[in-house]
Chain A
């Protein structure tokens, strides 16, 4: 077993699908007929067909983890199905070396009436284990799933989280050379997700992993290169995971802002900039961050704090900037400039939520809360890292 052998090689891979069910079935019959005769001709699009996966090329070595990202319908799952050998490509070639393990839908094939223990044998058999192997791994599987108490209960009485735990515990026993993971960490509670994550990291050391997820924190933690897919094609292939994630978010549509709270404070605009050369919407890394908030109000408020919550593109709250007390009067176009000092937010795009809190008699009350009010960008630092803050040691 060589250290860095190429385990997955994908060349010019394409797959077409049909948009219409009846037509698709009829093409199925035709494909059956031509498949039996041995069809060698070039496949072209027939009416109502489209390329679900188009001209994909990549290589993956042992020890590498490829993050496959893209918005819904980008062709990720279709690509995985081809790699897993479930469907055949229409053009191109996939070469896979070694044992392939797939964590796609955990617990597929579970029978609800049978007990957890019986289902371990069934599921294990489907995954390619022999009875002997399962006998040897049974205790480990049960321990990993943390289901000792319920292992003889019918699986139909399990919660969805328990089913996933059992499914993962069985699948984690595979010792694959190639591991395909499709969004399986998103289910179950956080503690088990982290446990699974560690199990995968362990497998990763000795195998080539393809990891599909919409969770960018997971992608950034586990992957060392990224393919961004869009409409069946590769939009970006990079070893810089940060850039890949950033490009993924750039394709994301801007959400419409909503005000949860009363309408007494009307937010006219928020300008975000740093330093002298004012470019609205851009903060330079390491320079100061200024938020200029312009409001109109019918009623006056004393002792108001403006809270600016910074969310990253994954909608995770990464910072909270809070102003000192201000007074809002009952007039139009009042301008406040808040200088929050040097910003070490990492280079990326962010959403802000602007909240107005009124402090009276030692209690705080939310007046207005503009959720996802606008976007801004942090530029400057050369590297893109997917982390809230990017702090560099100064020498």
Chain B
């Protein structure tokens, strides 16, 4: 028979916590799927346009920059591919990253009502958040495929690697999100700060314009760990020169241990947060 012991944590074994966390992720896969399904169904059942909304956000952001470019309001350096495609891939990847940063906090916050009443594997909340994210992303990928055909991009086998990069983007965002979540659940300020900060971050990331040839911005943008994610996706579409892939691999390799650390912190912090949550 399973024995549970609850006490003031006096011996803290990171390895054991991680093992428990990963076990819970595995055991709660049905719960995670069920929660994601529930939220997706509920989200679209109460609206007429339903799934269309998932297309609208990345399209409008791309559209704004396309118009700015066409009208000559701002002069952008040549992107090496049709600008609409350039802007769309940028905003697509950007939205995946920001959504995955916000996802752990949103999912946990949305479960306040059950967190204070039922004991269930909390890791399921994170996984269900990722499921929802991947669902929305797959819709956007359909849009990307449409754009690829529309602009008559030469199709290569490299394109099949794009989902892998997207997976990396989710991994990267979730890792950051996990570190923010504990404090973010205690203080509302954090959520506001993240929204605020991401706005600025977008301008030092090659989302809607290319990295300048020289200057301080070049250094910052090249150091920005989000840049290689977006750049690699574009490289894969063009099928030439993979300049950023090394940096991308380094970033993702750093993410993996950090993700595990984030999971451990999440696991430790949940009881402390539940204590202070109003249901």
Contacts and interface: CB of A to CB of B under 8 A. Distances in A.
A binds B: yes
A108 B114 contact: yes
B7 A94 contact: yes
B212 to A, nearest CB: 40
A17 B274 CA distance: 12
Contacts of A313: none
A315 to B, nearest CB: 29
Contact of A125 (B30, B42, B276): B30
B275 interface: yes
Contacts of B115: 86
Interface in B256-279: 264-265, 268-269, 271-276
B8 A100 contact: no
Nearest to B39: A111
B118 A109 contact: yes
Given A108-B114, A109-B118, A25 B276 contact: yes
B269 A85 contact: no
A226 B211 CA distance: 72
Given A36-B268, A108-B113, A108-B114, A122 B1 contact: no
A228 B41 CA distance: 46
Interface string A94-109: 1111111010110011
Given A29-B183, A38-B12, A104 B118 contact: yes
Contacts of B274: 81, 86-87
Contacts of B118: 102, 104, 108-109, 126-127
B120 interface: yes
B78 interface: no
A28 B186 contact: yes
B19 interface: no
A35 B8 contact: no
B186 A121 contact: no
Given A121-B34, A128-B120, A35 B269 contact: yes
B275 A87 contact: yes
B214 interface: no
B17 to A, nearest CB: 10
Interface of B is mostly: helix
B272 A113 contact: no
B152 interface: no
A326 B242 CA distance: 107
A59 B118 CA distance: 23
Nearest to A24: B276
> Of residues A82, A85, A86, which shows the largest number of chain B Cβ atoms within 10 Å of its Cβ?
A86
Contacts of A114: 38, 41-42, 45
A93 B10 CA distance: 11
Contact of B38 (A100, A111, A131): A111
A141 to B, nearest CB: 15
A227 to B, nearest CB: 18
A84 interface: yes
B273 to A, nearest CB: 7
Contacts of B264: 36
Nearest to B261: A36
B279 to A, nearest CB: 8
B35 A29 contact: no
A209 B29 CA distance: 29
B4 interface: yes
A88 interface: yes
A32 B268 contact: yes
Interface in B8-31: 8-12, 30-31
A94 B5 contact: yes
Contacts of A152: none
Interface in B27-51: 30-31, 34-35, 38, 41-42, 45-46
Given A104-B118, A114-B38, A109 B2 contact: no
A31 interface: yes
Contacts of A108: 113-114, 117-118
A64 interface: no
A35 B272 contact: yes
Nearest to B13: A38
Interface in B77-114: 111, 113-114
B10 A88 contact: no
B16 to A, nearest CB: 12
A118 to B, nearest CB: 7
Nearest to A105: B117
B196 interface: no
Contact of A28 (B8, B113, B268, B273): B273
B3 interface: yes
Which 7 residue pairs are nearest across A and B when measured between Cβ atoms? A38-B12, A125-B34, A93-B7, A109-B114, A94-B6, A125-B31, A88-B271
23 contacts: A1-B1, A28-B272, A35-B269, A38-B9, A38-B12, A85-B4, A85-B119, A86-B117, A87-B271, A88-B8, A88-B9, A89-B8, A94-B7, A96-B4, A96-B5, A98-B2, A99-B2, A108-B114, A108-B117, A109-B114, A114-B42, A114-B45, A131-B30
Given A88-B271, A98-B2, 10 more contacts: A36-B265, A36-B268, A38-B10, A39-B9, A88-B6, A91-B8, A93-B7, A100-B4, A113-B46, A118-B41
